[in-house]
Amino acid sequence: MDGFGDLEQALLARAKRVLPAGGFGNFPPEVILREGRGGRVWDVAGREYVDYLLGSGPMFIGHCHPEVTEVVQQQITRGTTFFTNNEHGIALAEAIVEAVPCAEQLRFVGSGTEADLYAMRLARAFRGRDKILKFEGGYHGMSDHGLMSLAPKHLANFPRPVPDSAGIPKSVADDVLVAPFNDLEAVTRLVEQQGEEIAGIIVEPLQRLIPPAPGFLKGLRDLCTKHGLVLIFDEVVTGFRFAYGGAQEYYGVTPDLCTLGKTIGGGLPLAAVAGRADIMAHFDRALVGDAGFLMQVGTLSGNPVAAVAGLKTLEILRRPGAYEGVFATGRALMQGMAAQIARAGLPAQVVGEPPLFDVVFTAGEVRDYRATLRADRATQAHVNQVLRAGGILKGDSKYYVSTAHEPRDVDQTMEAFTKAMATLP
């Protein structure tokens, strides 16, 4: 790597001795960050980047927001976790229930993976059925059921799932059905054929980058209502990002359950499963008895440090102009990139919504996972590399936009993107 200095070489060598593949499993290990402020980060060599990674999303109001930092520091002096109820966790639950359309009650957990796992388990407990229907390419955490047909290398005939990891029992495939995203007819046929065995449908309202086709989410809502299935929106990414009420507010469709993460912890580990009280009742043994009780325990669930960070983050997002600013920044980037692509005459397109999008290097409509397989991943990797050299940090396939990004960040991004386009044949 050009410019990879002695400190970075030494840190990477240390990492390779103690970490499999030399990293945390999240990002290329040669990227070693030191600090972040607002919409920017600095690596250990002092290089400055406009940050569209945002810790994979949770830093929606930017790094080290002074108001969040203040309340976190205050709480740390009073205790970091108790394993009991605490006032701040209760207040955060109240704020989420008030904001999110489907949320009558919620249960805190430590990560999005846990939230998705418990949402699927809740659906099975509530309906007394084993099967969950998900969509090919949909990401629902690292559980065995979540890691079915996330990014299959070998495509199977629907609805057969494909495991995306070693170590998943073969029996898990018997309880997961897979459908193509944005294909309501295929989902309808599947539910009509196997609906008596299906507990629920789990879906990302925006699947990775792909927006729902007009009427798709409402069609899922109507289908679940008709057949008595639990509709789960995985809003770990979209919750409080697309609107204060999440993607269910933004798209105007209310599920039975949703999962939340990233933003609600203000940069600290916190997630939740939320939804209808009659379904959430399975967490309460006194209401459902031993047979219906769903056990859930988490050492740090609802811890007060994450709760105060989340509360302050939500307070900031309620202020006038917060979402308007994010959408204005995202639109400026999306429109600028689309114009550059058009001028270059490239087979590429901008896919997503203003708070979360990327350029996909392929022609033709991108409406499901299999369409993304047409993308030129080598070109995308090259563009990302050129962007990083120009001081732009992003994930392999996402720009996360924050409230902290400024016009100068947009200008620097477009300058780097223009240079990247010029390097393509």
Catalytic center residues: 139, 234, 262
Number of helical (H) and strand (E) elements in the chain, helices listed first: 14, 14
Dist CA 119 CA 178 (whole Å): 17
Q: Are 147 and 165 in contact (CB under 8 A)?
A: yes
CA 60 from chain centre, in angstroms, equals 12
Q: Which of 52, 51, 43, 50 is nearest to 4 (CA)?
A: 43
Distant-in-sequence, close-in-space partners of 222: CB < 8 Å, separation ≥ 6: none
Q: Residue 353: enclosing H or E segment and its boundaries?
A: strand 349-353
The interaxial angle of helices 184-194 and 216-227, nearest 10 deg, is 10
Q: Which of 208, 160, 176, 132 is nearest to 373 (CA)?
A: 208
Q: Residue 194: enclosing H or E segment and its boundaries?
A: helix 184-194
- In order, the DSSP letters of 9-76 are HHHHHHHHHHSGGGS-SSS-TT--EEEEEBTEEEETT--EEEESSTTTTT-TT-BT-HHHHHHHHHHH
Distant-in-sequence, close-in-space partners of 314: CB < 8 Å, separation ≥ 6: 92, 95, 96, 99, 240, 244, 264
User: Strands 230-235 and 198-203: what pairing?
Assistant: parallel
- The structure tokens 């605490």 sit at 86
Query: For residue 107, what are the CA distances in angstroms to 145, 254, 371?
Result: 20, 18, 36
